[in-house]
Amino acid sequence: MKLQGLPQACAALVLLASAASAAPPIPDEISPPSPPKAEEPLKPADKPPLKTDALPGADAPPPYDMKLHELEENVTTLKEKIFRSKERLQVLREQILHNVIAEARAVIVHKNEMGSSFTLEQVLYYLDNEKVYFQDNKDGALDKRNEFEIFNGNAVPGNHILAVELVYRGNGTLFKYIDGYLFKIKSNYTFYAQKGRIARIKVVGYERGGMTADLEQKPYVKYEVQQFRYSKENAKRLGEGDSNLDDEEEKKEE
């Protein structure tokens, strides 16, 4: 028995085998696609340098720093001026109070002319804002002194301010209602110290208004000023407490 078509079948099998060997093998598992590779950043050496020339004034300090520095300099300058002014004032006070300049002289005397209804309890004097005298009536220190010297020293020619504070205590011998009552007096007076002259200022505490005035209004202060030639003889008499000086120029009361 003849097998027909066998050569044709063998040829077909040969073609199929060759086609299978030529095809790519099929993998067992399919892996996902790998992610895209990230770009590496530039290294510091690779970065382009900044051009500082393109920014004018980049090295200059901020405006507020400059203003703050200028303000600090102004404050320092002002402090130095204040310090120098205080030094000049201190020198001036020393000249007035410690006999440094002998171009003019000031003599201040206190006199008590108050009646028996008032007892002087305290005396306080300032010359150009500098305290020059204080005394209270402890142990009756003021009861026995009707007139006494407050200041005697050289002064710079020109105007000077004298400030007076007096405290009186009411004596109820005649008027019982004022017994123990305190009367406080504050007064300022400007006098002129002339070059080559002695200014003698007498501060007088007295009762004003007469018998009809209220007792509360009676305590008062007045100033008597005399000008004398500044000589060795007059200075000596002042040192000895002698008020009879030569060459009296003027006398006034206020």
Same domain, 149 and 248: yes
**83 and 209 within one domain:** no
Q: Please check whether residue 85 lies inside any domain of the structure.
A: yes
How far is 57 from 164, CA to CA, in rounded Å?
65
Question: Has residue 14 got a pLDDT over 80?
Answer: no
> Who has greater pLDDT, 171 or 99?
171
Tally of domains in the chain: 2
Strand partners, 188: 163
The answer as to whether 8 is a domain residue is no
Domain membership flag for residue 160? yes
The whole-number pLDDT of residue 101 equals 47
pLDDT for residue 79: 86
Indicate if 114 and 143 belong to the same structural domain: yes
**Is 115 in the same domain as 222?**
yes
Q: Is the pLDDT of residue 75 over 80?
A: yes
| Domain limit, last residue, from 38, 73, 97 | 97
Least confident stretch, 99-108, 137-146, 172-181, 241-250: 241-250
Do 109 and 229 lie in one domain? The reply is yes
Q: Is the pLDDT of residue 106 over 70?
A: yes
In a domain, 192, yes or no: yes
Residue 185 lies in a domain: yes
- 229 within a domain of the structure (yes/no): yes
The pLDDT of residue 100 is 46
Domain range for 82 is 64-97
